[in-house]
C-alpha cells in the first residue's frame, strides 16, 4: 500500500510542478526539514522530535499521516540531487508570510540540538534565497525562532 501511495505521489509531484497540490507542498516542506536536519550529516533525536512537532502543528496532521509524509519526503530527498524543485514549489504556491513562517520553523530546527553548525547556517542562507525571501526576512525569522517554540 505504501509503495502504491509513494508511486502515485511521486508521479503527481513530477507531473504537476506548475500546479502544486497540498500533498506536494507538504512533501516539499518536509524535504526541506530533512535536508536541514542532515546538513551536518547527523540527525539528532532533538532534531527528529522538532521536525515531527513542527510539521504536525503546521499541517494539523495526525501521527499516522505524519509518518507517511516523512516516509515520502525521505524517498523524494534521496531521489533528487538538489532542493530547487522543493523550494520552487513552496515559493510559487505560498504567500510571503507563510514562507517566512516556514523559514522560522527551519531556524527552530537548527537550534533544536542546542548548537548551529556552519553547514546548517549555510543551508539556511541558501534556503532563504531559494524561497524568494530577503536577508532581512532571514534575520527576523531567526530572531523569532529564538524566542518561540511550536
pLDDT in tens, 64-117: 999 999 999 999 998 887 889 999 999 999 999 999 999 999 999 999 888 788
Are 55 and 29 contacting, i.e. CB atoms less than 8 angstroms apart? yes
pLDDT in tens, 13-32: 454 444 557 789 999 999 99
Cell digits for 87? 523550494
Cell digits for 11? 508521479
Where exactly are the structural domains of the chain? Answer: 2-147
pLDDT in tens, 35-68: 999 887 888 888 999 999 999 999 999 999 999 9
Q: Which of 90, 116, 114, 93 is nearest to 103 (CA)?
A: 90
Are 28 and 83 contacting, i.e. CB atoms less than 8 angstroms apart? no
Are 113 and 37 contacting, i.e. CB atoms less than 8 angstroms apart? no
pTM listed for this prediction: 0.81
Match domain 2-147 to its CATH number in 1.10.3680.10, 3.40.50.300, 3.40.350.10, 3.40.50.10190. Answer: 1.10.3680.10
What share of the chain has pLDDT > 90, as a percent?
63
User: Which residue in this structure is represented by grid cell 530572531?
Assistant: 143
Cell digits for 97? 508570510
Amino acid at each position: 500500500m505504501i509503495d502504491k501511495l509513494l508511486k502515485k505521489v511521486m508521479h503527481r509531484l513530477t507531473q504537476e510542478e506548475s500546479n502544486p497540490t497540498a500533498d506536494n507542498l507538504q512533501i516539499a516542506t518536509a524535504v526541506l526539514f530533512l535536508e536541514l536536519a542532515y546538513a551536518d550529516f547527523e540527525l539528532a533525536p532533538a532534531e527528529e522530535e522538532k521536525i515531527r512537532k513542527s510539521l504536525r502543528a503546521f499541517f494539523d496532521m495526525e501521527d499516522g499521516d505524519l509518518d507517511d509524509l516523512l516516509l515520502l519526503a525521505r524517498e523524494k530527498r534521496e531521489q533528487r540531487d538538489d532542493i530547487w524543485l522543493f523550494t520552487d514549489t513552496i515559493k510559487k504556491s505560498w504567500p510571503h508570510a507563510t514562507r517566512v513562517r516556514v523559514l522560522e520553523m527551519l531556524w527552530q530546527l537548527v537550534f533544536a540540538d542546542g548548537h548551529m553548525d556552519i553547514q546548517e547556517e549555510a543551508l539556511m542562507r541558501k534556503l532563504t534565497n531559494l524561497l524568494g525571501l530577503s536577508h532581512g526576512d532571514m534575520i527576523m525569522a531567526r530572531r523569532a525562532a529564538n524566542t518561540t517554540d511550536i
